[in-house]
Amino acid sequence: MHTHDGTTHVHAPEPEVAAATGPGAWHVHGTVLPGNEPRDLWIGDGRVHADPIADATTIARDAWILPGLVDAHCHIGLGPQGPVERDTSERQALTDRDAGTLLIRDAGSPSDTRWIDDRPDLPEIIRAGRHIARPKRYIRHYADEVDPGELVTAVERQAARGDGWIKLVGDWIDREVDDLMPLWPDDVAAAAIARAHELGARVTAHCFGEESAAQLVRAGIDGIEHGTGLDAATIALMAERGVSLVPTMVNLENFPAIAGRAEERFPRYAAHMRALHARRVETIGSAVDAGVPVYAGTDAGGSVPHGLIGREIELLAAVGGIDFALGAASWRARSWLGRPGLVDGAPADLVIYTTDPRRDPAAVRHPALVVLKGRAVASPTPHGA
C-alpha cells in the first residue's frame, strides 16, 4: 500500500483461527512463544509433530501460540467451606481449562480428584495432598490438622496422597498474640522437610509474614507461596538454593479486605496485613531481580474464583515485564514441573491467540482456541475480563 508521501506500508497477515472441537489431525501456524519466528506445528494422536500430517485441518494461521498455561497455585475440589462435590470440582477444572490453564499444581485440597486423571478433556493436575496445619490455626475443614509432634507423620500421609509435593501452612494469625505467627518449631519443620525429601517429595508452604518464610527457607524448603514477608536475607538464600516463589498476585489484592474484617478484634494483625500489601510489588520485584525462580499461581479455590490466570499474568507483568510473566505461566513453569513445551512428540497442550500477548498483556485473557491433549476446545468465554 502506497501513502501520499510515497512510502510503502507492509501489512502483517491477519490472524485466522477456525472453529474446531474434539480430537483430530490439526495444523497450526504462528509465532510459538518464547520465539519470534513463525512456525508450523501438526497435531495428531494427542501429540505435537514437527513433520506434516497428511489431511490435517488448519485451525490457526498467523496466530500467536503459547505452550499450555500453568496455574502453579490452584485448589481443585476446594470451596469456602472445605471439600466440594465432584460436579463442582469439574466446573472448577473446566473454568481453568477454558482460560488456557492446562497444567495445575494443586497446592492443597481435601478432595480426592484422582478421577480427573481419566478425563482427556480436563487439565492435568500435580497434587500436593492436603494442607498440613495445626488445630485452630488455619481455615476450618481445609487441612490435615496435627500438633507439632505429629507433623512428620502427617507429611508421610500426605506424600502418599500427592504427586511429589507437600503443602505446609507456615503461618497464620495467632489470636492470642494478635498477629501472624509461625505454626511449627524450627526443629520440627526441618525434620518434616527432611522426611519429605527422603520420600521424594518437594515441600512448599503458605507464608504471609516475615518470620515463617525465613524459618522455612533456612530449614531447606523447596518453595514459598505468597511470600509477602520476604526480606533481603531470605530472598538471597532462596536465590542461592533455587527455592521457588509463587506469589499469587491475584490473591494478594484481597489483603485490604482481610484486614478490614479483622480490624475490630485484631488491630495489630490488620495493620500487619495492610503493610504487607503496601509493599507487595516491591517485595516480589526484589525476588525477581535477585533471580528467585518465580511462577504464576492464582490461589483459585476457597474464596478466589477459578479462571483468572490471565489476570495473574497481567499483575506479574507489572512486576517483572510481560516476557517474564508469560514464561512464569507457561514454558518456564512447565519446565519447573517436569512437563515439556511444544517440542516434537510432546503432548499437544497449547493456547492460541489472535493478538500478540507480548504487546497487549490483556490479550492473554481472551484465548481464541485451546488445545488440550490434542483435543480442540471451541472458542471459550473469556474469564476475568
Cα–Cα dist 201/167, whole Å: 10
**Pairing label, strands 244-246, 78-79:** unpaired
The three-class DSSP label of residue 364 is helix
CATH superfamily of 16-67+341-377: Urease, subunit C, domain 1 (2.30.40.10)
Q: Per-residue confidence at 381, pLDDT binned at 50, 70, 90?
A: very low
Kindly state the cell numbers that stand for 42: 501438526
Half-sphere exposure of 322 (CA within 13 A, CB side): 13
Q: Is the model more confident about 2 or about 25?
A: 25
Length of the chain, in residues: 385
Tell me: pLDDT of 203 over 90.
yes
The predicted model gives 14-25 an average pLDDT of 78
Q: Which ranges in the chain are annotated with CATH 3.20.20.140?
A: 69-336
pLDDT computed for residue 378 by the predictor: 56
pLDDT computed for residue 12 by the predictor: 59
35 exposure class (CB count in 10 Å sphere: 0-12, 13-18, 19+):
exposed
**For residue 95, which amino acid is it?**
T
Rounded to two decimals, what is the model's pTM? 0.94
pLDDT digits (tens, 9 = 90+) for 39-71: 999 999 999 999 999 999 999 999 999 999 999
From the list 209, 133, 198, 134, the residue with the least C-alpha distance to 167 is: 133
Q: Which ranges in the chain are annotated with CATH 2.30.40.10?
A: 16-67+341-377
The predicted model gives 251-257 an average pLDDT of 98
Tell me: pLDDT of 9 over 60.
no
Q: Is the model more confident about 256 or about 3?
A: 256
Least confident of 3-12, 194-203, 314-323, 331-340: 3-12
DSSP for residue 173 = E
Cα–Cα dist 128/146, whole Å: 17
pLDDT digits (tens, 9 = 90+) for 313-353: 999 999 999 999 999 999 999 999 999 999 999 999 999 99
pLDDT digits (tens, 9 = 90+) for 346-371: 999 999 999 999 999 999 999 999 99
| Percent above pLDDT 90 for the chain | 91
Cα–Cα dist 302/80, whole Å: 4
Tell me: pLDDT of 195 over 90.
yes
Q: Which helix (H) or strand (E) holds 326?
A: helix 322-328
Per-residue b/e over 241-262, b at no fewer than 16 CB within 10 Å?
eebbbbbbbbbbeebeebbeeb
pLDDT digits (tens, 9 = 90+) for 91-146: 999 999 999 999 999 999 999 999 999 999 999 999 999 999 999 999 999 999 99
Give the class (CATH, top level) of 69-336. Answer: alpha beta
